[in-house]
Each structure stands twice: as structure tokens, then as C-alpha cells.
Amino acid sequence: MPTQHYELLCLIGAEHSPEATETILHATRELVTKAGGEVLNTSVIGKRKLAYAVAKEKFGTYFLLDFNLDGSALHDLDRALTLQNDVIRFLTIKTKLKTAKELEEEVRIQEKIQARKSREEAAQRQDHEAEQRAAEAAEPKRKAEAPLTLEDIDKKIDEILDEDIAK
Amino acid sequence: MPLMRQSRQKAAPPPTPKQCYFCVLGAKTIDYKDTRSYQKFVSSYSKILPRRRTGLCMRHQRMTAEAIKRARFMALVPYTPR
């Protein structure tokens, strides 16, 4: 099987200290290299609250590995990861490495989107200004009301209640 | 009676955008780790919305669904609301 680019996300319990996380990350890295992979990049995403409890853990730390690996060795790696007790859950997905050409294309698209956005915004601003001018011409500016704070609301409620009781 | 029939009519579904959200952004891949990017395509019951509600193109709808399922497995987003 040809070499593929993979991305592995691992979840470990949050009780591990940052140093322990590093150790586990290192161990996982070793597993990948042992399976014949070439690790390109690793990163610790950090501690997060899990959407549901996994292995009775409500919080977890995620870390990510990017590597090249022969497709046939993936099964062995999966098995090795399952046997590692620290990693509660992991997911390997096939990803495509972006070529220089694709990156260029992406930048171009982003620029296009930005240009479109700024044009739309400019048009909107013009519309808005025109509207404002029309509104100002039609009627003089109203006094801006002071925003209601919670305390004000509480006070008013108290007043109303007092009135009710007085009656 | 025409009046009765009208009352029985279902409410019109919310209007869908004419263009696919991800096509407009020029997205080639949808990263399952970035939960915010597809949050709006999940209902309040944590269900993946159908295409008639999301207005996505077939390709991006599939990619979104895949990303949500992956994120669910990794406990990034819930399977069910609490």
C-alpha cells in the first residue's frame, strides 16, 4: 500500500499534568515511528470539557499528530493505540497534504472573498448614511434614552409592588 | 371550505440561502476539530440538519455530516442534548 498522510487526534484524561501529557504524547509518537511512520508535526490542543463522559472522565486533554505512514501499517498502529491505557479515545483520519499550488489558490480565494466583503460593506455604509441623512432631515434627533440597568428595573418593580400593597 | 383548508396548511419552512455556505467561503475541507464552523448545521436536539434546512450543496452536506460524526466520536460535540 502506498504511503499516506494521516492525522491522529488522541484524547486523554484531564488529570494528567502537562508534563505527563508530554510523556504520553512522546509514547504515542514512538508508537507511530515503530509502525514505520514519519511524524511531521505534533501539537497539544489542550484541556476541554467533553460533550459527554468518556471512561467516566468529564474533562479531557487532546493532542494531535500529523504523520506519513504506509496504509498497511495503520491497522497495527490502531491496535497498539487501543492497548495503550492512557489514551481513552483516538481517531485517525486520512488527510491530504496541501501542495504549494493549492495553498496559493486558497490565498487567492480568501483575497477574493475579502474584496467582495469590503465592497458589500462599503455599499451598505453608503446606504446607511443616505438613510440616516433622510431620517435626520425628516425629524430632529430624539434624545437617547439612558439604558436600563438591572438596578433600575429592580427599583421600578419595588415601587410598583409597594403601590399595590398600599392600595 | 377554503378557509378550513388554509388553516390546516403547514407553516412554510424557513427560507434557505440560494448559495451553499461553504462554497461561498471556498472551503475544500471541513475540519471536525473546529466545532464552530458547522455548529449552525446542528439542531437544538444535536441532530444534523437536512439539506433542505441547511441549503448546502450535496458535496458540502456530506462533508459536514462526516465532520459532525467524527466530532461526536471524539466527544467534541454531543450525540444527544443533556
Concatenate the DSSP letters of all residues of A32-95 into one string. HHHTT-EEEEEEEEEEEEEEEEETTEEEEEEEEEEEEEEGGGHHHHHHHHHH-SSEEEEEEEE-
Write phi, then psi, for A47 (nearest 5 degrees): -85, 135
pLDDT at position B33: 92
Domain segments of chain B as ranges: 17-73
Residue A106 contacts B, CB cutoff 8 Å: yes
Which 8-state DSSP code applies to residue A97? P
Complex-level ipTM beyond the 0.90 threshold:
no
Distance between first and last Cα of chain B? 45
pLDDT at position B2: 53
Nearest CA among A30, A92, A47 for reference residue A66 = A92
Is residue B21 within 8 Å of B64, Cβ to Cβ?
no
One of 2.40.30.10, 3.40.718.10, 4.10.640.10, 2.60.40.1220 is the CATH number of B17-73, namely 4.10.640.10
Beta carbons of B75 and A11 less than 8 Å apart: yes
> Three-state SS for B52?
helix
Interface subset of A 50-89, CB within 8 angstroms of B: 50-52, 54, 60, 62, 64, 89
Chain A positions in Cβ-Cβ contact with residue B75 (cut-off 8 Å): 11, 50-52, 54, 60, 89
pLDDT at position A146: 65
pLDDT at position A144: 60
pLDDT at position B11: 74
Q: Report the CATH fold assignment for A3-94.
A: Alpha-Beta Plaits (3.30.70)
Those residues of chain B that have pLDDT short of 50 are none
Those residues of chain A that have pLDDT short of 70 are 140-147, 164-167
Beta-ladder partners of A3: A70
Q: Best residue in A91, A104, A116 to probe B by mutation, most B CBs within 10 Å? A: A91
